[in-house]
Structure 1
Amino acid sequence: MNVETRFAGDAAPMSEFEEEERRRDRRRRIIIIATILGALVIAAAYFMFQGGAGEGAGAAAGEDGPARVLPTVTVIVPGSQSISNTISASGTLDARRPMPVGVAGEGGQIARVMVDAGDWVGRGQVLATIESSVQSQQVGGASAQLEVARANLALAQANLDRSLQLVERGFISQADIDRLTATRDAERARVNVAGAQLNELRARAGRLAIRAPAAGLVLTRNAEPGQVVSAGSGALFMLAQGGEMEMNARVSESDLRGMSVGQQATIIPVGTADRFEGQVWQLSPTIDAQSRQGTASVALSYQEGLRPGGFATAEIISGSIDAPMLPESAVQSDSAGNYVYVINEDNIVERRDVTIGTVGSAGITIREGLAGDERVVRSAGAFLNPGDEVIPQRMSQEDES
């Protein structure tokens, strides 16, 4: 009994010691885990701002070592280069010289239609004919009247010639000669009248053939055989003179002011990747009071992909300008407009409002706001605020290219 009591008394202190050791182990593990997590958070924040030594790294450290951790940002100095000033606009395609063709004469029933939309026609080519049986009979009757008048003129001239031979012998008086001369002249006038009437009827009959006033492309056809038409029926055909097209681009008032006739333009119809070259041939002399826009008309030679009435975009080259160019990642925007972050001489972030120009695969042209010698934050602008101090690291020429 004594032995068992002694062993039981010794076992109680051992259990409390082990429990204390376990508690100490748990605290040590918690401290180690917290330390590791803290180190990971610091490392993540460092690499988020592209950590590394760069320009002005010494500004982040004191004489006795680093005083605080500053983010490192990549900057570029864009410089200034000659860039083509391209104006982008949209508008519609149309015939440059549209020619509506309708009935020029009395009209009637269409007998035949010789062309269709999309056909090329020459000057004077017959597009359609109107039934002309009545006009043909009228022309035939007028032609016969002309022959009668010519026969009467020949008879009157013969009578006058015979009388002139007899007047010398005293058989015919001078009064008879005057009467015969007047008869001859009257018959000659009747010949002229009959000829004019015949020509008029022939011209009327000829106008029953609807002809192309000039060479060009047939855009629309509104005529069918059997259709009754007249001078008030409107245009039966619409032609594009010479097949020439144009794109009427709507441009802003400021862009229109800097444009001139003869500038090159590239037209891209909507829904296609086709590009057609043309040049500005006319600028609108007025500005729309509501939209504050004007029209720049771009002349185009006919090509199959150009269809009047279609929508297209235009890229009009209006000279060149010297301006900086930045990658898209450097330019940001908000409700106040477009801006970039610039690092000043004290390595402090400053906001700089800019006006952008053309946007292309090479980058964004900055028309206003930068001189080109500033240190511009290339990326990570979303993590910065004006007034932040950073360590700028300039991108090398190889990286920029």
Structure 2
Amino acid sequence: MSKTPLRPHPLLAAMLGLLLASASPAAEPALKSFVAGQASALQGARFEGRVEAVRQAVLSAQVPGAIVQLQVKAGDRVRAGQLLLQIDARSAEQSAGASEAQAAAARAGLELAEREFARQQQLFAKGFISQAALDQAEAQFKSTRAQLNAQIAQAAAARTVSGQYLVRSPYDGIVSEVPVMLGDMAMPGRPLLTVYDPTALRVTAALPQSSAAALPADPAWQIEIPGLAGGASIQPTRSQLLPVVDAGSMTQELRLDLPARLAGLVPGQFARVSARVAARSTASNAGNASSALIVPASALVRRAELDALYVLDAKGRPILRQVRLGTRRGEQVEVLSGLSAGESVVAEPQLAARLSK
């Protein structure tokens, strides 16, 4: 008599499969790594800057007086020669009128002296007066003419002073700041308005002296302005590195002119500046002090006062190795010692720490 083989219940078979699956070791996740290579000291370096106007004028008062007209506000577009602000000029206008009246009186006196001198010349020609009388009439005529010239100059000066009570725009631009109000007292040297030309903007950045010394002859600069429409990098039209080092910060000022009429740009905006420098081979960089090993700051492991990196050995296992760091350039850090070009560095130190236990 044949025996029927026993078959396990389907539910028991499924539970047994789950237990066996949980008992089997899980596959280890693959470590992401990169090859350390020698690069230019400027590669990956970013410098913070700001947008500023090439032409910006702070208009101040030249004469004292109360502000009686304020015709613009911050954000207004103005034209060259447009009246922006007026200071009470009644006393100046009265002085200018008095000077012009004195000039008119001197002009009438000159006409009288000129006719008198002409009559004296005729009398002298007929022998009716002496040479002394003729000389006296000539001197009177010249004195009156000199007085007229002085009065005309004084009237012109008074009119110039009265014109200083009117503040006009020096060029087409935008009013960025109006720190005064109607009725305020304007004093000589006190800022009244700030006007800038929106068609001529630039980015200025402070470069460390070491980075400025490592610049190539004609670097290709890139400008990034967060929040700018489009988000694309901007190529400057002209670059200038000022040949002066700030004694306090040991930096040099870099000026990058922006293309004209970029929408959304205003002075004071934050900007990032970087130089497009291609990576160099190890052989070409041998003995070059301006090249270094650059690694991402996210790959570093800091324990107490030690800095380290996880480096893959010949069998692909992560080994923690102490390194000595140099200058940090944005999101990248220079490695001075403890790492050689061509070695594989783990990009995920937290995962490498778990796997190395």
Question: What TM-score, normalized to structure 2?
Answer: 0.69
> Is residue 66 of structure 2 the alignment partner of residue 102 of structure 1?
no
Distance in 2 (CA, whole Å) between partners of 1:119 and 1:238 is 11
Q: Does residue 112 of structure 1 match 2:65?
A: no
CA distance in 1, matches of 2:120, 2:140: 13
CA distance in 1, matches of 2:140, 2:59: 48
Q: In the alignment, residue 134 of structure 2 is paired with which amino acid?
A: I
Looking at secondary structure, tell me which structure has more helix per residue. Answer: 1
Please name the residue that 1:305 is paired with: 264
Report the residue type matching 1:382 in the other structure.
Answer: A
- Counterpart in the other structure of 2:289: none
2:163 aligns with 206
1:320 is displaced (CA, Å) by 2.3
Contact 1:142 1:194 in 2 (8 A): yes
Alignment: residue pair count: 316
In the alignment, does 2:129 pair up with 1:158? no
Q: What is the CA-CA distance between 1:137 and the residue it aligns to?
A: 2.7
CA distance in 1, matches of 2:124, 2:345: 118
Q: Does the alignment pair 1:173 with 2:130?
A: yes
Asked whether 1:316 is paired with 2:316, we answer no
Whole-angstrom distance in 1 between the partners of 2:164 and 2:107: 27
> Is the 2:80–2:169 Cα contact (8 Å) retained in structure 1?
yes
Residues 192-235 of structure 1, C-alpha deviations (whole Å, 9 max, x = no match): 01101110110011111112344443210123333232215x10
Measured against aligned partners, the alpha-carbon deviations of 1:292-339 in whole angstroms (never above 9, x if no partner) come to 7665454445655334445x24031152223799998x9453333352
CA offset digits 1:137-175 (Å, max 9, x no partner): 322222222122112111111121122222222112111
Letter in 2 for 1:125: Q
Q: Is the 2:50–2:268 Cα contact (8 Å) retained in structure 1?
A: yes
Residue 240 of structure 1 corresponds to 196
Change (3 A) 1:370 1:271: farther
1:281 aligns with 2:246: no
* 1:370–1:194 CA distance, 2 compared to 1 (3 A): same
Change (3 A) 1:119 1:89: same
Q: Which amino acid aligns with 1:134?
A: S
Give the aligned residue type for 1:236. L
- RMSD over aligned Cα, in angstroms? 4.4
Q: Are the structure 2 counterparts of residues 317 and 199 from structure 1 closer, same or farther at C-alpha, using a change threshold of 3 Å?
A: same
Q: Which residue matches 1:57?
A: none
Structure 1 pair 121/370, CA: closer, same or farther in 2 (3 Å)? farther
Distance 1:201 1:76, change over 3 A: closer
SS of the equivalent of 1:86 reads coil
Shift in CA distance, 167/375, structure 1 to aligned 2, threshold 3 Å: closer
Do structure 1's residue 135 and structure 2's residue 96 form an aligned pair?
no
Distance 1:359-1:179 versus aligned 2 partners, 3 A rule:
closer
Structure 1 unmatched ranges of 5 or more: 1-32, 51-72, 389-401
Residues 1:327 and 1:177: Cα distance change in structure 2 (over 3 Å):
closer
Question: CA offsets, 1:22-81, max 9 Å, x none?
Answer: xxxxxxxxxxx9xx86x965x416x3267xxxxxxxxxxxxxxxxxxxxxx888768889
SS in 1 for 2:245: coil
Q: Is the 8 A contact 2:51 2:267 kept in 1?
A: yes
Matches of residues 228-377 of structure 1 in structure 2 within 5 Å? 228-231=185-188, 234-241=190-197, 244-249=200-205, 252=208, 254-259=210-215, 263-269=220-226, 274=231, 277=234, 278=236, 280-282=239-241, 285-286=245-246, 288=248, 296-300=254-258, 303=262, 305-310=264-269, 312-317=270-275, 319-322=277-280, 331=299, 333-335=301-303, 336-337=306-307, 339-344=309-314, 350-351=319-320, 353=323, 369-372=339-342, 374=343
